[in-house]
A = this chain, B = another copy of it.
Amino acid sequence: MEAKANGPSVNAGRVMDGPTNPMVTPLLTDLYQFTMAYAYWKAGKHNDRAVFDLYFRKNPFGGEFTVFAGLEECIKLIANFKLTEEEISFICETLPGSCEEGFVKYLRNIDCSDVEVYAISEGTVVFPKVPLLRVEGPVAVVQLLETPVLNLVNFASLVATNAARHRLVAGKSKMLLEFGLRRAQGPDGAISASKYCYIGGFDATSNVAAGRFFGIPLRGTHSHAFVSSFMSPDEILERSLHRSDGSSTCEDFVSLVQSWLSKIQWSKALGNSVGETNQSELAAFTSYALAFPNNFVALVDTYDVMRSGVPNFCAVALALNDLGYKSVGIRLDSGDLAYLSGEARKIFQIIEKEFELPGFGKTSITASNDLNEETLDALNKQGHEVDCYGIGTYLVTCYAQAALGCVFKLVEINNQPRIKLSEDVSKVSIPCKKRCYRLYGREGYSLVDIMTGENEPCPKVGERILCRHPFNESKRAYVVPQRVEELLKCYWPGKSGKVREELPALKDIRDHCIKQLEQMRPDHIRRLNPTPYKVSVSAKLYDFIHFLWLNEAPVGELQ
């Protein structure tokens, strides 16, 4: 499968493909990154070695977990980070004042060969304060990366988390379809939502472009307009349909459908309750079945689900069955989904019995129409017969919380640790180039994440270690890990010579995410009052943070 739009041609000969969206270039950044680059360059500081952490402060959607996503696109940006001459001219025209020739030369030469990126694997369940990415390199270059990397991680992680939350409430057995393209925040708000919803546990998308870019399974049937574009079955000119096995041809499939419809209408088992159905709907269903006899799915709510849509669907499905085809199911897009799915299920079961059609009772029921976590939860509580959900607006726009607040903070420059203070303790940054570990307990669940200074020894299996809350001195606990996982791996070694972690295939990221969620202690991921997962620092790092904090903070004067 061809899976990429072409990146800017200047990047030909690059070590890996560019970002999916060709609009992701070094100009996709805030102007102040360029003004700062100029100021750093003027001050001769542009090559100062800086370390930045990318992290968030609070899990989204009132939950206690986040799925990290967006890494692959970040690495593709970094691998291809190079300004074109046109871009450089534009920057020079845009910077206030005149731009010195030396700076133009500098811009011409910058790339990410001297940058190192450590990151948590994409699809991992992550928590506040722990760096998702650690980016190290010349300060001016790393700052240019700040904005695009935040842009690529923030929405990706937000929507992957949203998808994972929808999966958790829907349950493993349901099919989940992402239907968000028409309401998403722009074209790649949609395309990237499709990608990251798949990572978060969705099964397929309606978005053809996303299917092509990423190889995500595609699903889709027909709309209300299709139904209302027909007037009556008389319109259908080509009425023949081969049997499924090719052995013969039914010359008038339309009449076969009509005859089944009248059997349904006169069926005692159905209580003689089926009256006249809508003929334009019947024509649309019949036409759709003629086009896709192996994949007949009908949208049954254009006129009236129980009085028209479901009987019309059953008539067409029974006619298809005569010719050896198995229908897929119906879609409900309005009304009381719990009630209607239950009523439709009853009809399918009666027909299975009445017309001896084994399996027809299990005909698939898809529900759509402004679904979200809350409505799925409400459906579960009421009881329903839905097998598959099509979820759009609330999923892809992350309607319940439309942004994740990842930040990118300087933690070290020229080997000097830096701290960002704030009146609000939750906004104080954790200084130093760090290592991060996840410690697992006896039951296989992860117990705590711990950050240490870069040169501290790695926590060891079976050895007791003190884990401290970074800012609350009374919160600390000893842990004896049964397994220790180092979280940050080298995804972009620059010229350091370190081994570069491979970027996994999308399917593998998805599998990793699903496995990760299965390994979480259930109380951390439940919807109602989830337990916060513990994030800690080593005793040594704790002491250093507080030493630095006192050192930097001005002593107040009460007047």
- Is the Cβ of B151 less than 8 Å from the Cβ of A231? no
Q: Is A355 an interface residue (CB 8 A)?
A: no
Choose from B42, B182, B230, B295 the contact partner of A154 (Cβ within 8 Å): B182
Contact status B94-A208, CB under 8 Å: yes
Given the interface pairs A150-B183, A189-B188, the reply to whether A208 lies near B287 with Cβ below 8 Å is no
On whether A94 and B45 interact (CB within 8 A), knowing A5-B23, A28-B190, the answer reads no
Taken residue by residue from 93 to 129, chain A's Cβ proximity to chain B (1 for < 8 Å, 0 otherwise) reads as 0111100000000000000000000000000000000
A235 touches B (CB below 8 Å): yes
Counting CB contacts under 8 A, is A477 at the interface? no
Q: Which residues of B contact A413 (CB under 8 A)?
A: 228-229
Contact present for B209 and A27 (CB under 8 Å): yes
Asked if A398 contacts B393 (CB within 8 A), the reply is no
Looking at the assembled complex, report how far the CB atom of A103 sits from the nearest CB atom of chain B, in whole angstroms: 10
Instruction: Find out whether the CB atom of A228 lies under 8 angstroms from the CB atom of B418.
Output: yes
Instruction: State A303–B147 Cα separation when bound (angstroms).
Output: 23
Chain B residues near A401 (CB, 8 Å)? 399
Q: Which residues between 1 and 33 of chain A lie within 8 Å of chain B, taking CB atoms?
A: 2, 5, 19-25, 27-33
- Say how many copies of this protein the assembly contains: 2
Q: Point out the residues of chain B lying under 8 angstroms from A32, CB to CB.
A: 206, 220-223
| Residues of chain B lying within 8 A (CB to CB) of residue A420 | 224, 228, 302
Q: Could you tell me if B229 and A39 are in contact, using CB atoms closer than 8 angstroms?
A: no
Given contacts A189-B186, A231-B416, A554-B278, contact A43 B94 (CB under 8 A): no
A237 to chain B: which residues have CB within 8 Å? 43-44
Instruction: Tally chain A residues at the interface, Cβ within 8 Å.
Output: 127
Contact (A182, B94) CB under 8 Å given A43-B236, A228-B420, A421-B303: no
CA–CA, A229 and B287, complex, Å: 68
A397 to B43, CA, bound (A): 36
Contacting residue for A402 out of B90, B150, B397, B554, CB 8 A: B397
A151 to B554, CA, bound (A): 51
- Is there contact, CB below 8 Å, between A151 and B192? no
The answer to whether B186 touches A225 (Cβ under 8 A) is: no
A181 touches B29 (CB 8 A): yes
Question: In the complex the two chains form, is A28's CB within 8 Å of B207's CB?
Answer: yes
Give the residues in chain B near A404, CB-CB below 8 Å: 183
> Contacts A31-B219, A220-B30; is A96 near B397 (CB within 8 Å)?
no
Measured CA separation A27–B48 after assembly (Å): 46
- Distance between A286 CB and nearest chain B CB, rounded to angstroms: 9
CA distance A173 to B323 in the complex (A): 73
